[in-house]
Amino acid sequence: MAVADGAGGAPAAARLVERDRAVVWHPYAAVGPDARSPLFPVASASGVRLTLADGRELVDGMSSWWAAIHGYRHPVLDAAAHAQIDTMSHVMFGGLTHEPAVRLAETLVAITPAPLRRVFLCDSGSVSVEVAIKMALQYWTGRGRPERTRLLTVRRGYHGDTSGAMAVCDPDTGMHHLFTGLLSHHLFAPAPACAFDEPCTDAHVAPFAALLAAHAHELAAVIIEPVLQGAGAMRGYAPGFLARVRALCDAHGVLLIADEIATGFGRTGELFGCDHAGISPDIMCVGKALTGGYLTMAATLCTEEVADGVCASEAGAFMHGPTFMANPLAAAVANASLGLLLGSPWRATVRRIETELAAGLAPAADLPGVAEVRTLGAVGVIETREPVDMSVIQPLLVDLGVWIRPFGRLVYTMPPFITSTADVATLTSAMVEAVARVTG
């Protein structure tokens, strides 16, 4: 197995890890002599397989954090990237426009709920949440209610790592206590308690409704992940809860921001989580799978009413404009990725994967160390009773031939949509076996 420095196999992989340990910082990781969390150099990726620098092949169960829905090195996405590089990799978006961005915005408007008519392209999911929050605040300034600056959300939410986004993440499992003084103080209702396939009753929504009613005068918006709380919970909830949230926002004149960054583009079995409830938010964030996992790009969509309010504010314009806004390379790959998705039987594919995940993970429910096994769309979760030890379970999963990245008490998968029945079985049997061994 050739690696970048021309040497091969395990020794080269070990050297790369050593060089990495000396200078690189990884997500949510310590550095220095105590940084012993396992690290695996990847040499290449193709289809649903990651090839490690030591030659081992792993079936990818993470889609690189919900993004690579078509797998790696997809010929259509590769071709779109090559063609766009030969034309124009980047150009600033202030005062200039280009076909890839316009086409992408047109497609997003066409496939998201009808009232969403205006698209702001930005760099990452977290930035799209910042943009959504700024839009909501500027909207209320434009409507003569500048005091409406707070947000209401539910616990167990995750919306990103920048400061505006962190301030609406779960206050206990998020990073609020680390950044006291920086983060705005928002309002948190209990996480939705009604499971995805349960009816949502008045009692389920009562605490949320009470907070909304008490604070509507100071609220700019409600922000929520539709039907599936991702990184903060990996748990689905009833579409009826979301429908009631929409109705309550309407009743109290509060904007609704749907964070579809994880749930968008088919992952939960509908194109967007909001589609399960048949609702439209006032503002919607999408990202992750937007470019099929090739490049970083996200988008914030809003209604004409929100856009009008923003532009009626003192600034007369929306005050945000990143350097790499609407990057043509990312937009071209996003167009190709959406073309692939919309031209495929994605709904049947996600249903197949859901059925296979449910069947394959079911044996884990009998393990004494397992609290719950659940699936929703192409997401499968084993929740353990105690947090798993990453230094034990991560190498074990690699030895079992899969790339699964657990956190806390969650051993979960959201495989690429191109994953075959046999590869889903490899993922689920490895997950069950690894959990059995580490909790046994």
Ligand X SMILES: Cc1ncc(COP(=O)(O)O)c(C=O)c1O
Spot the catalytic one: 123, 259, 275, 282: 259
259 is in an annotated binding site: yes
150 is in an annotated binding site: no
Min separation Cβ 162 and ligand X, Å: 7
**For ligand X, which is the closer residue by CB, 326 or 396?**
326
- Distance of alpha carbon 153 from alpha carbon 220, whole angstroms: 11
323 is in an annotated binding site: yes
Min separation Cβ 135 and ligand X, Å: 16
Give the burial string for 23-41 (b: 16+ CB within 10 Å, else e).
eeeeeeeeeeeeeeeeebb
Min separation Cβ 422 and ligand X, Å: 28
**For ligand X, which is the closer residue by CB, 129 or 332?**
129
- SS in 3 state form for the chain? CECCCCCEHHHHHHHHHHHHHHHCCCCCCCCCCCCCCCCCCEEEEEECEEEECCCCEEEECCHHHHCCCCCECCHHHHHHHHHHHCCCCCCCCCCCCCHHHHHHHHHHHHHCCCCEEEEEEECCHHHHHHHHHHHHHHHHHHCCCCCCCEEEEECCCCCCCCHHHHCCCCCCCCCHHHHCCCCCCCEEECCCCCCCCCCCCHHHHHHHHHHHHHHHHHEEEEEECCCEECCCCCEECCHHHHHHHHHHHHHHCCEEEEECCCCCCCCCCCCCHHHHHCCCCCEEEECHHHHCCCCCCEEEEEEHHHHHHHHCCCCCCCCCCCCCCCCHHHHHHHHHHHHHHHCCCHHHHHHHHHHHHHHHHHHHHHCCCEEEEEECCCCEEEEECCCCCHHHHHHHHHHCCEECCCECCEEEECCCCCCCHHHHHHHHHHHHHHHHHHHC
Min separation Cβ 184 and ligand X, Å: 17
What does the longest C-alpha to C-alpha distance in the chain come to? 65
**For ligand X, which is the closer residue by CB, 261 or 379?**
261
**For ligand X, which is the closer residue by CB, 143 or 324?**
324
Spot the catalytic one: 60, 170, 288, 412: 288
28 is known as an active-site residue: yes
**For ligand X, which is the closer residue by CB, 357 or 379?**
379
Min separation Cβ 231 and ligand X, Å: 5
288 is known as an active-site residue: yes
126 is in an annotated binding site: yes
32 is in an annotated binding site: no
Query: Which residues make up the interface to ligand X (CB under 6 A)?
Result: 124-126, 129, 158-160, 225, 230-231, 259, 261-262, 287
403 is in an annotated binding site: no
Q: How many CB atoms lie within 10 A of CB 214?
A: 12
Please, what is the end-to-end C-alpha distance for the chain in angstroms? 36
158 is known as an active-site residue: yes
Min separation Cβ 322 and ligand X, Å: 13
**For ligand X, which is the closer residue by CB, 170 or 225?**
225
Residue 346, token pair as written in the block? 């994605």
Spot the catalytic one: 139, 158, 294, 412: 158
Spot the catalytic one: 28, 34, 86, 197: 28
405 is in an annotated binding site: yes
351 is in an annotated binding site: no
Min separation Cβ 28 and ligand X, Å: 12
- Nearest CA among 353, 343, 362, 348 for reference residue 420: 353
**For ligand X, which is the closer residue by CB, 43 or 122?**
122
- Binding-site residue set: 65, 125-126, 158, 259, 288, 321-323, 405
Annotated binding site for pyridoxal 5'-phosphate: 125-126, 259, 322-323
* Active-site amino acid positions: 28, 158, 259, 288
